[in-house]
Amino acid sequence: MQATGVLENAPAGIADPLRDLGVRTGPDGGRLRVYSPNATRLELCLFDPRDSAWVERTVRMRRDGDVWTATSPLLTPGRRYSIRADGPQGPRHAFDRTTHLLDPYARGVVRVDEGGWRSVVVDDGFDWGDVQRPGTPLADSVIYEAHVRGLTKQLRGVPPHLRGTYAGLAHEATIAHLTELGVTAVELLPVHVFASERRLVKQGLANYWGYNTVGFFAPHMQYATLAAQRGGPQAVLTEFKGMVRLLHEAGIEVILDVVYNHTAEEGRDGPTLSFRGLDNSTYYRQDDSGRYLDMTGCGNTLDHSREAVQRLVLDSVRYWAEEVRIDGFRFDLAVTLGRDEHGAYSPTSPLLTALRDDPALAGVKLIAEPWDVGLGGWQTGGMPDGWSEWNDRYRDTVRDFWLTDLHVLRNGGYPRTSVGAMADGLAGSSSRFSEERGPLASVDFVTAHDGFTLADLTTYNGKHNLGNGESNRDGTDNNHSFNFGVEGPTRSEKVLASRRRAMRNLLGTLLLSAGVPMIVAGDETGRTQRGNNNAYCHDARLTWVGWTLADWQRDLLEVTKRLVALRRANPALRPVAYARLDEEVAGASEMHWFDASGARMDQATWTDPENRTLQYLARAVPTAEGRNTTLVVLHGEESERRVTLPELDAIAAYTLLWSSADDDARDTVTPAGGTVDVDGPALLLFRAD
Q: How many CB atoms lie within 10 A of CB 229?
A: 17
Beta-bridged to residue 82, according to DSSP, are: 45
User: DSSP labels for 370-435?
Assistant: -B-SSTT-B-TT-SPTT-EEE-HHHHHHHHIIIIIHHHHHHTT---S--HHHHHHHHTT-TTTS-T
Which residue type sits at 61?
A: M
Q: Do the beta carbons of residue 686 and residue 572 sit within 8 Å? A: no
With b for 16 or more beta-carbon neighbours within 10 A and e for fewer, the 637-646 pattern comes to bbeebebbbb
* CA gap 22, 108 in Å, rounded: 11
User: DSSP labels for 212-244?
Assistant: SBS-SSSB-GGGS-HHHHHH-HHHHHHHHHHHH
Q: Do the beta carbons of residue 277 and residue 99 sit within 8 Å? A: yes
Active site residue 400: no
User: Taking the mean position of all CA atoms in its chain, how far away is CA 679?
Assistant: 35
Containing 682, the helix (H) or strand (E) segment is strand 682-688
Going 544 to 545 to 547 to 552, the CA torsion angle's sign is positive
Active site residue 369: yes
Output helix, strand, coil percentages for the chain, rounded to the nearest 5. Answer: 25, 25, 50
- Choose, from 332, 524, 539, 637, the residue flagged as catalytic: 332
* CA gap 130, 132 in Å, rounded: 6
Q: Are strands 653-659 and 328-331 parallel, antiparallel or unpaired?
A: unpaired
Which residue type sits at 268?
A: R
Q: How many CB atoms lie within 10 A of CB 78?
A: 13
- Choose, from 197, 307, 369, 372, the residue flagged as catalytic: 369
Angle, CA of 222, 226 and 227, to the nearest 5°:
130
Q: Where are the beta strands (DSSP E) in 438-483?
A: 442-445
Containing 175, the helix (H) or strand (E) segment is helix 172-181
Which residue type sits at 193?
A: V
Angle, CA of 462, 467 and 468, to the nearest 5°:
90
Q: Are strands 365-368 and 388-390 parallel, antiparallel or unpaired?
A: parallel
Phi, psi of 76 (to 5 degrees): -125, 165
Give the list of residues 6+ apart from residue 454 with CB closer than 8 angstroms, or none: 446, 447, 503, 506, 507, 520, 523, 526, 527
Active-site residue list = 332, 369
